[in-house]
């Protein structure tokens, strides 16, 4: 089998058409990866500049009312992974910047784009597009022609006469073409390692290794499936048509069907319905029996008793700041209720989509591609939650200064100093390691391994059933 592999591999390099095509794809993939890295680094620089500009505005802020500053707000920047250059996943539609302000939680998590389980790769040239669509198509045609050309030319019979088994021949051809796909795949990773200036750490390197393993597994599935069908069907046209139909179904039709099915089985409220429910809970109370007016009266009574005074004007602190923070705390409870439910549904939709990999390995490799790149829904939701946690701390800091920083109830002209605004902590976010997230992708990994087992079984079955007159 080793000799067959070497002869096959040498034969491809002696073929001028294939050699030219291989060189083209090698440079094409290298260029796409390189320019994606440059684009990613430009985004990182722009993001850093924007972050520094926003922070400078806070550091240079003149004395002003903390409540006004709360409405002025700030921004949370999601650090771009260095692997965003390979697959930008949901980042291409959700963006990487959130506005944070008082009395308002960011509802970008509810945008139609952030809910999308299927992110179209077409229209944006990234290595992921080439690795998921173009290279597999090339491997399919190579696999098809590899066996059919041997059969039509009569060379297959000669190999069988020499004592080689059909199974060994098919495996050798499969490994040869798979190895070609592996070369293209490795090219992307090598270019990534060479030209990425910073951010290469243990987590990134492990993600690259997992990416290599997952894509190479998918490539072998495609190659072995193609050759197996070529063996089973004596009519070359029929086998090629079936193979192309399967590939188109995997990459175009089934992902859309799976996504739509998930959304039907686990429906989400419309944006209007969602906002209306949020506003109703904030005004009338989560349980419908604790309206805003009653909550305010109870808080006023509690505060007066605490400081042993009869009127708000007699308080040594500013009741308005306490009231604002109470409203924030209650709004946080409402947010946790509604967005918590939304996140659960989004995760259920994602799990439902992942299960579609049982009939479509492309869904699994697409999911893993975004996961390893740190650009999938799970990573984005983690950022949204961390940004919201910071927003709460940020607004509480401002409200506490307004309440306990020296002003009294009714002093609308009171202002906090520049020193205070400079002391407000900045948003800092670290993307989670893949180790902390890997359990969410076990379904994809297991399904890909099952398909690998199926592909081996198909090779054994096809070579057993094939009838070739020697």
Tokens coding 319? 């009741």
Looking at the predicted structure, is the pLDDT value of residue 79 above 90? no
User: What is the phi-psi region of residue 5: left when phi exceeds 0, alpha when psi lies from -120 to 50, beta otherwise?
Assistant: alpha
Residues 6+ apart with CB under 8 A from 231: 147, 166, 170, 462, 463, 466
Lowest-confidence range among 160-164, 175-179, 190-194, 310-314?
160-164
Between 106 and 313, the higher pLDDT residue: 313
Decide: 368 and 214 in contact? Cβ < 8 Å. Answer: yes
Phi, psi of 41 (to 5 degrees): -70, -35
User: Distance between CA 86 and CA 131 in Å, rounded?
Assistant: 9
pLDDT category of residue 418 using cuts at 50, 70 and 90: very high
User: pLDDT averaged over the chain?
Assistant: 86
User: What is the phi-psi region of residue 379: left when phi exceeds 0, alpha when psi lies from -120 to 50, beta otherwise?
Assistant: alpha
Residues 6+ apart with CB under 8 A from 267: none
The b/e string for 318-329 (b: 16+ C-beta within 10 A; e otherwise) is: bbbbbbbbbbbe
Tokens coding 255? 């992902």
Tokens coding 343? 């996140």
User: Distance between CA 201 and CA 398 in Å, rounded?
Assistant: 37
Decide: 437 and 383 in contact? Cβ < 8 Å. Answer: no
What are the extents of the domains in the chain? 2-465
Say what percent of the chain tops pLDDT 70.
91
Residues 6+ apart with CB under 8 A from 179: 5, 9
The mean pLDDT value for 99-126 works out to 61
User: Distance between CA 312 and CA 403 in Å, rounded?
Assistant: 12
User: Distance between CA 323 and CA 67 in Å, rounded?
Assistant: 12
Tokens coding 466? 């094939």
User: Distance between CA 251 and CA 206 in Å, rounded?
Assistant: 27
User: Distance between CA 459 and CA 206 in Å, rounded?
Assistant: 31
Tokens coding 153? 């030319």
pLDDT category of residue 114 using cuts at 50, 70 and 90: very low
3-state secondary structure of 166: helix
3-state secondary structure of 88: coil
**The pLDDT of residue 109:** 53
Lowest-confidence range among 58-72, 115-129, 266-280, 332-346?
115-129
Task: State pLDDT tens for residues 40-56.
Answer: 889 888 988 999 999 99
User: Distance between CA 53 and CA 49 in Å, rounded?
Assistant: 6
**The pLDDT of residue 86:** 93
The b/e string for 442-451 (b: 16+ C-beta within 10 A; e otherwise) is: ebbbebbeeb
- Angle CA 283–289–293, to nearest 5: 45
User: Distance between CA 281 and CA 149 in Å, rounded?
Assistant: 69
pLDDT category of residue 136 using cuts at 50, 70 and 90: very high
Looking at the predicted structure, is the pLDDT value of residue 468 above 90? no
User: Distance between CA 260 and CA 189 in Å, rounded?
Assistant: 33
Residue by residue, DSSP assigns 352-418 as: HHHHGGGT-HHHHHHHHHHHHHT-SHHHHHHHHHHHHHHHHHHHHHHHHHHHHSS--TT-TT--B-H
User: Distance between CA 215 and CA 181 in Å, rounded?
Assistant: 9
pLDDT category of residue 117 using cuts at 50, 70 and 90: low
First to last CA, the chain: 20
Angle between helices 166-195 and 16-59 (to 10 degrees): 40
**The pLDDT of residue 199:** 72
For the chain, give the longest Cα–Cα distance: 106
**The pLDDT of residue 9:** 64
pTM comes to 0.89
User: Distance between CA 343 and CA 250 in Å, rounded?
Assistant: 27
DSSP at 133? I
User: Distance between CA 300 and CA 294 in Å, rounded?
Assistant: 10
pLDDT category of residue 278 using cuts at 50, 70 and 90: confident
Decide: 115 and 268 in contact? Cβ < 8 Å. Answer: yes
Phi, psi of 96 (to 5 degrees): -130, 15
Between 288 and 446, the higher pLDDT residue: 446
């Amino acid at each position: 089998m080793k000799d067959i592999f070497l002869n096959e591999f040498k034969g491809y390099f002696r073929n001028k058409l294939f050699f030219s095509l291989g060189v083209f794809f090698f440079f094409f993939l290298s260029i796409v990866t390189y320019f994606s890295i440059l684009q990613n680094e430009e985004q990182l620089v722009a993001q850093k500049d924007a972050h520094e500009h926003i922070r400078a505005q806070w550091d240079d802020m003149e004395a002003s009312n903390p409540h006004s500053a709360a409405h002025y707000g700030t921004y949370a920047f999601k650090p771009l992974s260095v692997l965003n250059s390979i697959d930008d996943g949901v980042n291409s539609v959700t963006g990487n910047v959130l506005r944070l302000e008082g009395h308002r939680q960011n509802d970008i998590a509810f945008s139609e784009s952030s809910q999308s389980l299927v992110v179209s790769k077409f229209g944006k040239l990234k290595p992921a597009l080439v690795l998921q669509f173009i290279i597999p198509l090339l491997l399919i045609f190579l696999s098809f022609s590899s066996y059919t050309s041997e059969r039509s030319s009569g060379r297959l019979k000669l190999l069988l006469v020499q004592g080689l088994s059909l199974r060994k021949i098919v495996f050798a051809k499969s490994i040869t073409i798979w190895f070609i796909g592996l070369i293209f795949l490795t090219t992307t990773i090598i270019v990534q390692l060479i030209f990425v200036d910073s951010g290469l750490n243990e987590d990134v390197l492990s993600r690259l290794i997992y990416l290599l393993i997952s894509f190479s597994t998918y490539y072998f599935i495609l190659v072995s499936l193609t050759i197996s069908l070529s063996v089973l069907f004596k009519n070359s046209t029929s086998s090629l048509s079936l193979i192309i139909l399967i590939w188109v179904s995997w990459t175009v039709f089934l992902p859309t069907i799976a996504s739509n099915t998930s959304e039907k089985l686990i429906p989400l409220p419309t944006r209007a319905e969602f906002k209306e429910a949020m506003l109703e809970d904030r005004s009338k109370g989560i349980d419908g029996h604790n309206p805003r007016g009653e909550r305010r009266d109870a808080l006023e009574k509690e505060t007066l008793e605490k400081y042993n005074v009869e009127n708000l004007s007699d308080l040594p602190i500013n009741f308005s700041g306490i009231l604002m923070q109470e409203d924030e705390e209650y709004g946080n409870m409402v947010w946790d209720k509604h967005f918590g439910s939304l996140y659960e549904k989004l995760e259920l939709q994602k799990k439902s989509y992942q299960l579609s990999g049982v009939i479509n390995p492309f869904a699994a490799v697409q999911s893993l591609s975004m996961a390893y790149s740190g650009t999938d829904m799970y990573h984005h939701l983690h950022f949204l939650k961390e940004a919201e946690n910071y927003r709460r701390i940020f607004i509480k800091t401002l409200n506490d200064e307004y309440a306990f920083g020296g002003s009294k109830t009714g002093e609308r002209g009171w202002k906090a100093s520049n020193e205070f605004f400079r002391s407000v902590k900045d948003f800092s976010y670290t993307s989670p390691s893949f180790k902390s997230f890997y359990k969410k992708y076990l379904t994809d990994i297991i399904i890909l391994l099952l398909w690998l087992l199926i592909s081996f079984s198909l090779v054994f079955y096809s070579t057993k059933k094939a009838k070739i007159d020697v």
